[in-house]
A = this chain, B = another copy of it.
Amino acid sequence: MTQTLRVTYELTPDRDEDPEAKARDICYEQTVELPRHAVPPEVADWVPGEIESIEALDDKRWVAVIGFDASLCADELTQTLNLIFGNISLKRGVRITAIDWPDSLVASLGGPGLGIDGWRELTGVRHRAVTATALKPMGLTAQQLAERAAAFALGGLDIIKDDHGLSDQRHAPFTERLARCRDAVGDRSLYLPNITAPWPTMMARARDAREAGCSAVLVCPMLTGLDAPRWLSDELGLAVMAHPSLSGAYLQRTHGMAPELMLGDVFRLAGADAVIYPNTGGRFGLRPDECTAINDRLRGSEPPCRPAMPTPAGGMALDEAGVWAQRYGPDTILLLGGALYETGHIENAARRLTKAIEDAA
C-alpha cells in the first residue's frame, strides 16, 4: 500500500499571483515538471502532488497541505528533499511549516544510530543536561588547542568539540590536532573532532578518529552532504553531532523551512544524534518558541525514529546556564564557548558550568 508524504506549505503569493495556482504549481513543478496537458494519463493520477486543503491564513499568506506519493522519495533523503523543496527553492514565498512523515519512509531513512541513550552511555551522564564546549579559536596550534582541551576536561565538561571551522589548516593540521586533543582529554570527557570535509576525506578522518579512540565526531551536513551522519553511524558506529553551518538560508520568514523542520526533522532523519542550533537570546535570531519546537522535533515521537539531543549554543552567558538547563530539561546538551573563554580562566569557568548544571538537575 502506498503511503503519503504530507507537506504543509505556507504561501506568500506575489500581488499578481493566485494562491491556488501557486499551490498547483508546487504539485507539478516538484514532480512531473510538465504543464498539466503534457502529463501522460497513466502518470497524471498519482505522480503530481495533490492539494488536500488550502485556506487563507491572513491577508497575505495561505496554507496549503499537499500530499505526495511517498514512493517518489525512492527511500533516499536526497530525493526526499528534492521532492519537497528542490525546484521551488528557486521560487519565492514558499515555506514548509509541517511535514507528516510516513513510517515506511522514516524506517528506510533510519534516523539517529545512537540518539539520546547513546550520549548518556558515552558520557555516563544520567539525570542532568550534558555540558559541552568548543575548542577555538582557529589560528591556534594543535598544541595550544590541546592545552585548552585539557583544561576543559579538568573542569569537568562532558563534551569537548572542535570548533566547526577547524578543518586541516596548516597551523593545526587534522591528524596532529586529533592526536594531541584526544590525548589531552583522555577518558575524562568525550573529544569530538570536526571531520567536515569533502565526503571521502571526511570518511578518512572519521576512521582516523575512531582509531584514535574517539566515539563521536562533529560534522556540518550542509557542507558534506546531508547523509553524512547516517553513513558515519552505519559504517563506523560513531555518534554524530551536527552543526548548522550554511543551513540558515533555508530559515527565512517567507521562504524555506521552519527551523524545527530543517534543524529538527531533516537533521534527525539524516542521522544526527545531536543537533547544534543557535539558542534564542544569543547572537542569532531564533525565537523562544522556535527553539522549543526544535527541541520537541528532535526528541519527540515524530518522526518515528530514535530521539536526538538538542544542543542549544551561540552566546549563552555562564550565569544563565542553569536557567537554560532547567528550562530545556535533562535531555539537552548545553554548548557554551565564548562565555567560558572570556573569563580568562577556562578550567575554573568549566567547573562553574559543571556545578551550575548539576545544581539545576
Contact = CB atoms under 8 A, between A and B. Distances in A.
Interface stretch (A39-47, A98-106, A149-157, A293-301): A39-47
Which of the listed residues A30, A79, A201 has the most CB atoms from chain B within 10 Å of its own CB? A79
B32 A83 contact: no
Interface string A231-271: 10000000000001111111110011000000000000000
Interface in A146-171: 163-165, 167-171
A169 B72 contact: yes
B285 A165 contact: no
A137 interface: yes
A118 to B, nearest CB: 21
A41 B231 CA distance: 40
A355 interface: no
Nearest to A31: B138
Interface string A116-146: 0000000000000000001011111000100
Contact of A223 (B81, B228, B250): B81
A150 B201 CA distance: 40
A40 to B, nearest CB: 7
A341 B38 contact: yes
Nearest to A283: B29
Contact of A245 (B39, B86, B278): B86
Each complex incorporates copies of this chain amounting to 2
A9 interface: no
A196 B30 CA distance: 16
Contacts of A255: 249, 252
B249 A79 contact: no
A91 B168 contact: no
Contacts of A91: 248, 283-285
Contacts of A342: 34-35, 37-38
A122 B343 CA distance: 62
A176 B56 CA distance: 44
A216 B249 CA distance: 31
Contacts of A167: 74, 76, 78-79, 82
Given A31-B138, A79-B223, 6 more contacts: A30-B165, A35-B342, A74-B170, A76-B168, A200-B231, A249-B255
